[in-house]
Amino acid sequence: MRSRSSTLHGIRRKFAALSALAIGAALAVAVPTPASAAARVDNPYVGAKAYVNPQWSAKAAAEPGGGVIADEPSFVWMDRIAAIEGAGDAMSLREHLDEALDQGANLFQVVIYDLPGRDCAALASNGELGPTELDRYKTEYINPIADVLDDPAYASLRIVAVIEPDSLPNIVTNAGGEAGATEACAVMKANGNYEKGVGYALHTLAAIPNVYNYIDAAHHGWLGWDTNLAPAVDEFKKAATSEGATVGDVHGFIVNTANYSALQEPYVKVTDSVNGTTVRQSKWVDWNQYVDELTYAQGLRSLLVSRGGFDSGIGMLIDTARNGWGGSARPSGAGPTTSVDDYVNGGRIDRRIHAGNWCNQKGAGIGERPKSAPAAGIDAYVWAKPPGESDGNSQPVENDEGKGFDRMCDPTYTGNGRNGNNLTGALSGSPLAGHWFSAQFQELVRNAYPPLDGGGSDDDTQAPSAPTGLTVTGKTSGSVSLSWSASTDNTGVTAYDVYRAGVQVGSSATTSFTDTGLTASTAYSYTVKARDAAGNVSAASAAVSATTSAGGGTGTGTLKVQYKNNDSSATDNQIRMGLQLVNTGSTAVNLSTVKVRYWFTPEAGASTFGTACDYAALGCGSVTTGVTASGSSAAGASHYLEVGFGSGTLAAGASTGEIQLRLNKSDWSNFNEADDYSRTTNTAYADASKIGVYVGSTLTWGTAP
């Protein structure tokens, strides 16, 4: 449930310039000149050649099979003051930057990681500064880093800075009496030095025109519950408006930093049910709203914009260095339906004992290689934690780095409240956090997914066949749904990449995909490419075109509502739905003035109702619900469920994110929803022209019955 520090060690010497990796697919671009570098771009990873750390590269290349990934880019960690000038044999920050220029790179990645009282919930990555040493953090750590980064010699580099892993999430979950809370976290919450330190770092580094700040936002197994997510956004905003910082100093957020949560769970969805029991009720998911990092990152992004007031153009990074979970233990399909726990445990890609386990996990593998713009809202998959660097020592080790012995790194420890009192799943024989852990690196290589080309098996150079039969299966005013016939491959297709007008808009593990967030009455063209485990990519399918439907509703306002059906049965005792509001305008909307109405008829039975919010990206505490008799004689519309919002604003171009609702009659008798005015059967979000949006008393979207 934590991410750990990294310290770079190795022989201090200059290596021959490595060929800097072109992030993304065949991005052959010229390195920007210093004169053009000052203007920030929307996504610093697009068209970028990223710096490869030669000291990490040398260690990786020396391991069996490691040469395959030795030229992958990863972050350089500034985990103590001495790291700025070079601690031990590690290169200094300036030497790394000079080496980046020598490589012809135009992207440099660095982790800022030395807050006072650092990582208050774990001992393995405790730092050198005491809880009250904020002034030292500013003057001896942040200011010297800023002085180096601001050198005009490095103006041609896009510098991505990840700001203080673990700090703000610990304040949310581990500082107020929760299971596993610590006294150290309570101290940091009380003195506010995490927020002040993060704010100072954001404000100071954002003043450098070519620096891009990304705040650490933990992972779905830490903050993915409704009770954690909205408070986390509030905490992020608090930090981002401290010590002179503004939300404009934040370019984006990063999730799964130095952690192991699966990027995608193809066989387990949070909306699945087994014999009437939802996946959320399983022991593994434990009522979390997410099961993987991609959906968590995208859901969090929506909430950061709608609740936190962050810019609607913010992007997310996902650390995929160690979340591949390949090897023989990787499931190839869904688990058995004997129980919801069997279903989840049999089909989940993440093979940890508990999602709260974070230290040197057994069975983990290298994940997706660094890649730009891989999915909607995601700036890049990155390697924030260089594979092979330990998360912490499995037994006590004397050291002068301020790092303690954390029992979560001990494979014999039976756990605590943060991992459900389970075994830790840690590898034995691990060294101090940040030190090279050869056994772990070799296991990561063996279990890589997608597998590494040349990592112990015959090289696969054969690309899959091009997908055929690309067809438009549905469309709304804001989405297009596609399907196609499966490709063939000598080893097997692992994913399909979907392109709109030649630009990738997403990936799918199946032969279908829905592209959302589109403009009404607009023509779009699509192609699809297949990809295998070795990264071989097929030729593009034949193109297909689709024109989105006209916008629904009678209103002329800028809000629209999207709906999905969360209950396949039309005759059970609950009505369940997903709703989300989208602001299509150019100015923010005060949500306290907004109501959404869903019309239905209860048929026989009780005339009073119960309502519930099961999940809301902006927090169920911000959502109000109630049922009212409509007075309408229209078929299927005698009553309506009215949804309101206690407070907050919805930024221009933003969505509230998903809101999961249900209602029942007080006697729990059955409905017959088949003729309900507002109901449709789509199970993916689509514009809903028969659900009304009111601003004040004015209908601004939808057609009322």
Q: Provide the annotated active-site residues.
A: 166, 391
* Cα distance between residue 503 and residue 529, in whole Å: 12
CA angle 226, 229, 233 (to 5 degrees): 150
> How far apart (Å, rounded) are the C-alpha atoms in residues 232 and 342?
32
Helix (H, G, I), strand (E, B) or coil at 405: coil
Let me know how long the chain is: 705
Pairing of strands 575-583, 589-590: unpaired
Q: How far apart are CA 127 and CA 120, in angstroms?
A: 9
DSSP 86-129: --TTSPPHHHHHHHHHHHT-SEEEEEE---TT-STT-STT--SS
598 closest CA partner among 620, 554, 630, 646: 630
Helix (H, G, I), strand (E, B) or coil at 599: strand
Is the backbone of residue 666 left (phi > 0), alpha (psi -120 to 50) or beta? alpha
End-to-end CA distance of the chain: 49
Q: Phi and psi (nearest 5°) for 533? A: -65, -25
Residue 512, beta-bridge partner list: 483
HEC-encoded secondary structure of 565-581: ECCCCCCCCCEEEEEEE
Give CA–CA dist 420/423, Å, rounded. 9
Give the Cα separation of 546 and 475 in Å (integer).
8
- Do 283 and 220 touch, CB atoms closer than 8 A? no
Task: Tell me which amino acid residue 128 is.
Answer: E
Residue partners of 660: CB distance under 8 A and separation at least 6: 566, 576, 577, 578, 613, 614, 615, 616
Specify the amino acid at residue 90.
Answer: A
**HSE on the CB side for 595, CA within 13 Å?**
15
Distances in whole angstroms, Cα of residue 139 to Cα of each of 78, 118, 179, 215, 542:
15, 17, 36, 21, 59
Q: CA–CA separation, 430 vs 209, rounded Å?
A: 40
Here the tokens at position 432 are 């101090």
SS3 assignment, position 516: strand
Phi, psi of 247 (to 5 degrees): -60, -20
Cα–Cα distance list, 326 to 161, 322, 390, 518, 534 (Å): 30, 10, 20, 35, 13
Do 315 and 305 touch, CB atoms closer than 8 A?
Answer: no
Q: Which amino acid is at 115?
A: L
Quick one: which of 458, 462, 459, 505 has its CA closest to 481?
505
CA neighbor of 666 nearest in space, from 610, 611, 626: 610
Going by the DSSP 8-state scheme, the letter that residue 297 receives in this structure is H
Whether cis (ω within 30° of 0) applies to the bond prior to 152 is no
Could you give the 3-state DSSP secondary structure of residue 609?
strand
Residue type, 247: V
User: How far does Cα 387 stand from its chain's mean position?
Assistant: 19
